[in-house]
Amino acid sequence: MLNGYYEIKKAKNGQYYFNLKAGNHEIILTSEMYVSKASAENGIASVQTNSPDEKQYEMKLNVRNEPYFLLKAKNHQVIGKSEFYSSDAAAQKGIASVSRNGKTTDVRDLSDKEL
């Protein structure tokens, strides 16, 4: 089984964010925007800590009633958001994937390649 990894990127507005990707290279969690790369790295550390704990996930529905989930830190701050899924079962599989892959220490800094 392939291992997941993080990619740190820099957005056009100069802020940083990261994606957690599964071993198949699909994005399974996207972070909020951060002012500094160090803050994005702290966000990754928070995912590594919180992703194994099922109590840190919150299921939601978008305006089209498509399920998605948020991963929150112990202080209830949102660390990352999933894609929109076709069913609750698919979203639960997404949570299981983030839980499994979130512990990875493989972090790939692509922030200098974005601009």
pLDDT, one tens digit per residue, over 8-50 is 999 999 999 999 999 999 999 999 999 999 999 999 999 999 9
Residue 2 pLDDT level (bands cut at 50, 70, 90): confident
Report CA-CA distances (Å) from 66 to 36, 51, 93: 32, 22, 14
pLDDT tier at 1, thresholds 50, 70, 90 = low
Place of tokens 């500094």: 36
Q: Is the pLDDT of residue 85 over 90?
A: yes
User: Which residues are CB-neighbours of 93 under 8 A, at least 6 positions away?
Assistant: none
Classify domain 5-109 by CATH number.
2.30.29.80
Of 87, 110, 88, the residue nearest 21 (C-alpha): 110
Task: Quote the mean pLDDT of the chain.
Answer: 94
For residue 106, pLDDT beyond 70: yes
pLDDT at residue 3 greater than cutoff 60: yes
Query: What would the mean pLDDT of 73-93 be, rounded to a whole number?
Result: 96
Domain boundaries, the chain: 5-109
- Residue 1 structure tokens: 């089984």
Listed in sequence order, the residues at least 6 apart from 65 whose beta carbon sits closer than 8 Å to its beta carbon are none
